[in-house]
């Protein structure tokens, strides 16, 4: 028997507004109304500003380790814009921009990185899950969240974000496999930023695209320019349509770049070339959008300066609020462990001790003498 | 002799063993080009090549699982798990495979690997970067668990671990990675796994601890002004109960200190064995000053959680007053 082709496939790549200012009218026209575009741009600028302010805060010892989002803003923002507000947004930690669009207070994000669990008390109506620190675990939760919607007969879907490094974790593959085989409408959005701390993307995925990982699970896949807000909105809308109409998952690779260090605890100069960083700076999603809007006549340098000023003021106000928040109390360590605190834990909380004589000083001879 | 930090002492031990034994290879996330996120493996890839100091995909189960294969084939892999909070995905490989290989193959296959893991709190790190899970692994038969409290011990214990025929989890307390320096001989030396160290001798009470807590214990002992003996277990499993037994038989009182939560913590095992072996010598109930039975809080509250010198001192004084 002749050898036949079991599968032939291609991966489409979407780019609408490139770094040179070229705009694909066919795909891009009417995709985002101007009024929305201005608001989206404003969110990106504010997000970037917050990144810069947070970085400086960490450097001056006023904040713990912080992962900058710089350069990757368009991915989560485009997705949050395209999704319905009751679709689940299941992020890791470089999706501040999308969370801000969803309405999650920036205070929540900052408090988290300031070492304060109260930052994770995400208001449930936002349908956004708390920041996920361990890599690659949250995609399974997204699958469960969307599964619950399916079970209840709701039209909600989930969109989950992760990096190229996370696609190496077993949990990632399990999430894809569950969603694909149990027919669960999840959008798997990989922000391929080429670096997992110091480890380059080729160590995580040596195939030509990350997008093709979805093929192994029978999902439609798309690669898009993740620094192009239009391409992201286009791609995510396509994914949403697929997920809602078929109830099945969709895989997106947003090609982007981590312009900053992994976190403030990292120094990327140790392992990557500045030339590479500079090349990606020229593809910055914010600059690109600004040039486009200016060319279109809906934006100006004066407006930009005013926006930046306002963004800085709002970021400083956020910082002030977060720094002035009352210090958490020790009982907070205990009170959220269970719905009903076991007696032994209540004793630890109330006495501040784990040793039996500290918890019950009546056992001490001085106490019995007093009796 | 050089005055080294814990990071430098471990780095030196790795260099010396790698020079001696080409079966020793390092693997993990960021251990190569970046020299590890704590710089423990700094310069090693340059020195020994990318073939021996390998940046792996981001997958803890993969790192440990492939290390098991490498070890079964006769190499001496030294996988690094970047933070103890990321051991979770590797748990299955560690407990279902590494720990059992010798037993289930009646010795035909063994897993001589040393899993290096930064551990513990106190450095203002994000969540899942500050836990103390040593009890999980000490509870698993077939794994040895080591945790040094200073640079000198770290070098000698690590060399022993690297030469051990069985899997060793080598926890490195990140709180003291750079906080203390000690004279560390250039020449190789080993400190046997399973042997505790009497840090200071005393007659009134015994404190048993390990890892970064040893430093807090020393402060507490100094503050309370009594004759207290401090034992650094150094190895959690196999545990040197002989040294503990001798000490508690002499002092009649014991306080156990660890960062991990109290319930089913390693302190429970130490206390039980003291009860079994020193029952008639005991003058007071054995006390445990530990982390609370809660999730390790984010860093704003981490110092409320970790046993500090004041809380340890109170434990010592209560035990002495009994």
Number of neighbours of residue A173 by Cβ within 10 angstroms: 17
Across the strands, what pairs with A222?
A12, A252
Give the closest residue to B80 by CA, choosing from B128, B47, B32: B32
A127 as an active site residue: the answer is no
pLDDT value for B307: 98
Query: Class of B197-321 per CATH?
Result: alpha beta
CB contact under 8 A, B33 and A271: yes
The distance of A279 to chain B (nearest Cα, Å) reads 22
Each residue's pLDDT tens digit, B66-92: 999 999 999 999 999 999 999 999 999
Chain B hits for A366, Cβ within 8 Å: 321
Handedness of CA A330, B215, B213, A358 (dihedral sign): negative
Number of neighbours of residue A130 by Cβ within 10 angstroms: 18
Boundaries of every domain in chain B: 2-184, 197-321
Q: With an 8 Å Cβ cutoff, is B222 touching chain A?
A: no
Each residue's pLDDT tens digit, A108-142: 999 999 999 999 988 888 999 999 999 999 999 99
CB contact under 8 A, A114 and B300: yes
d(CA A39, CA A34): 9
Mean pLDDT of B174-181: 97
Each residue's pLDDT tens digit, B123-177: 999 999 999 999 999 999 999 999 999 999 999 999 999 999 999 999 999 999 9
CB contact under 8 A, A365 and B322: yes
Asked if the model's pLDDT at residue B1 lies above 90, the reply is: no
A242 as an active site residue: the answer is no
Each residue's pLDDT tens digit, B22-32: 999 999 999 99
Using DSSP's 3-state secondary structure scheme, residue B250 falls into helix
Report residue A338: phi and psi, to 5°. Answer: -140, 165
CB contact under 8 A, B287 and A355: yes
Residues 232-271 of B with CB under 8 A from A: 255, 262-263
The distance of B86 to chain A (nearest Cα, Å) reads 7
Each residue's pLDDT tens digit, B224-244: 999 999 999 999 999 999 999
The ipTM of this complex is 0.95
- Strands A250-255 and A221-225 come out as parallel
What's A362's DSSP letter?
G
CATH fold of B2-184, please?
A: Rossmann fold (3.40.50)
The B228-232 sheet, strands edge to edge:
B197-200, B228-232, B205-209, B254-261, B287-291
Residues 337-366 of A with CB under 8 A from B: 337, 344-345, 348-349, 352-358, 361, 363-366
Preferred mutation among A355, A364, A368 to probe B, highest tally of B CBs within 10 A: A355
d(CA A263, CA A250): 29
Minimum CA–CA partner of B83 in chain A: A134
Whether B150 contacts B275, CB under 8 Å = no
pTM above 0.90, yes or no: yes
Chain B hits for A196, Cβ within 8 Å: 29, 58
Chain A hits for B42, Cβ within 8 Å: none
Same fold, B2-184 and B197-321: yes
pLDDT value for A123: 82
CB contact under 8 A, B300 and A115: yes
Whether A194 contacts A163, CB under 8 Å = no
Which domains are delineated in chain A?
A: 12-324 (3.40.50.970), 331-370 (no CATH)
Low-confidence ranges of chain A (pLDDT < 70): 367-371
């Amino acid at each position: 028997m002749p050898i036949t082709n079991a599968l032939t496939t291609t991966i489409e790549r979407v780019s609408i507004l490139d770094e040179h200012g070229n705009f694909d009218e066919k795909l891009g026209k009417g995709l985002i109304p101007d009024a929305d575009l201005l608001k989206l741009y404003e969110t990106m600028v504010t997000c970037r500003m917050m990144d810069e302010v947070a970085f400086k805060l960490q450097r001056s010892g006023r904040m713990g380790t912080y992962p900058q989002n710089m350069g990757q803003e368009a991915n989560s923002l485009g997705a949050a814009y395209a999704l319905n507000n009751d679709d689940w947004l299941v992020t890791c930690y470089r999706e501040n921009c999308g969370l801000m669009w969803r309405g999650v207070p920036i205070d929540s994000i900052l408090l988290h990185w300031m070492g304060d669990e109260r930052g994770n008390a995400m208001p449930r109506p936002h349908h956004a899950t708390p920041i996920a620190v361990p890599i690659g675990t949250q995609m399974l939760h997204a699958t469960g969240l969307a599964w619950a919607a399916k079970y209840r007969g709701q039209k909600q879907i989930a969109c989950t974000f992760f990096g190229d490094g996370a696609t190496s974790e077993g949990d990632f593959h399990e999430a894809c496999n569950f969603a694909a085989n149990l027919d669960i409408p999840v959008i798997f959005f990989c922000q391929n930023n080429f670096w997992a701390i110091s480890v380059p993307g080729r160590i995580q995925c040596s195939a030509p695209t990350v997008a093709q990982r979805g093929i192994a699970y029978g999902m439609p896949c798309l690669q898009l320019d993740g620094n192009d807000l239009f391409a992201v909105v286009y791609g995510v809308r396509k994914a949403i349509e697929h997920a809602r109409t078929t109830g099945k998952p969709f895989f997106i690779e947003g090609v982007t770049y981590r312009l900053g260090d992994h976190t403030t605890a990292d120094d990327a100069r140790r392992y990557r070339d500045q030339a590479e960083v500079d090349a990606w700076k020229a593809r910055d999603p914010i600059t690109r959008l600004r040039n486009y809007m200016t060319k279109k006549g809906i934006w100006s340098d004066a407006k930009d300066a005013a926006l930046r000023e306002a963004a800085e003021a709002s970021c400083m106000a956020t910082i002030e609020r977060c720094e002035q928040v009352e210090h958490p109390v020790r009982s907070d360590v205990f009170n959220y462990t269970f719905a009903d605190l076991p007696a032994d834990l209540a004793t630890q909380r109330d006495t501040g001790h784990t040793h039996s004589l500290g918890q019950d000083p009546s056992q001490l001879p001085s106490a019995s003498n007093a009796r | 002799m050089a005055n080294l930090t814990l990071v430098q002492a471990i780095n030196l031990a790795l260099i010396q063993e790698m020079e001696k034994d080409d079966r020793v290879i390092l693997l993990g996330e960021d251990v190569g080009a970046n020299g590890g996120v704590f710089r423990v493996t700094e310069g090693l890839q340059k020195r020994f090549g990318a073939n021996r100091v390998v940046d792996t995909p981001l997958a803890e189960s993969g790192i440990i699982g492939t290390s098991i294969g490498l070890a079964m084939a006769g190499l001496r892999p030294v996988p690094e798990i970047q933070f103890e909070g990321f051991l979770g995905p590797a748990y299955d490989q560690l407990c279902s495979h590494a720990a059992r290989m010798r037993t289930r193959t009646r010795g035909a296959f063994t897993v001589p690997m040393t899993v290096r893991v930064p551990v513990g709190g106190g450095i203002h790190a994000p969540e899942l970067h500050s836990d103390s899970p040593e009890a999980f692994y000490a509870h698993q038969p077939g794994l040895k668990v080591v945790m040094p409290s200073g640079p000198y011990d770290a070098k000698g214990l690590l060399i022993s671990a690297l030469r051990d025929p069985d899997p060793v989890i080598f926890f490195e307390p990140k709180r003291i990675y750079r906080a203390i320096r000690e004279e560390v001989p250039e020449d190789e030396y080993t400190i046997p796994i399973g042997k505790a160290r009497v840090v200071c001798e005393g007659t009134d009470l015994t404190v048993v601890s390990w890892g970064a807590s040893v430093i807090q214990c020393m402060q507490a002992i100094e503050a309370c002004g009594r004759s207290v003996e401090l034992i650094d277990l150094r190895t959690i499993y196999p545990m040197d109960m002989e040294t503990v037994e001798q000490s508690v038989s002499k002092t009649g009182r014991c306080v156990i200190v660890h960062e991990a939560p109290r319930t089913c913590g390693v302190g429970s095992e130490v206390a039980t064995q003291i009860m079994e072996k020193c029952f008639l010598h005991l003058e007071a109930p054995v006390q445990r000053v530990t982390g609370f039975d809660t999730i390790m809080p984010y860093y704003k509250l981490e110092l409320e959680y970790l046993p500090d010198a004041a809380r340890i001192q109170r434990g010592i004084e209560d035990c002495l007053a009994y």
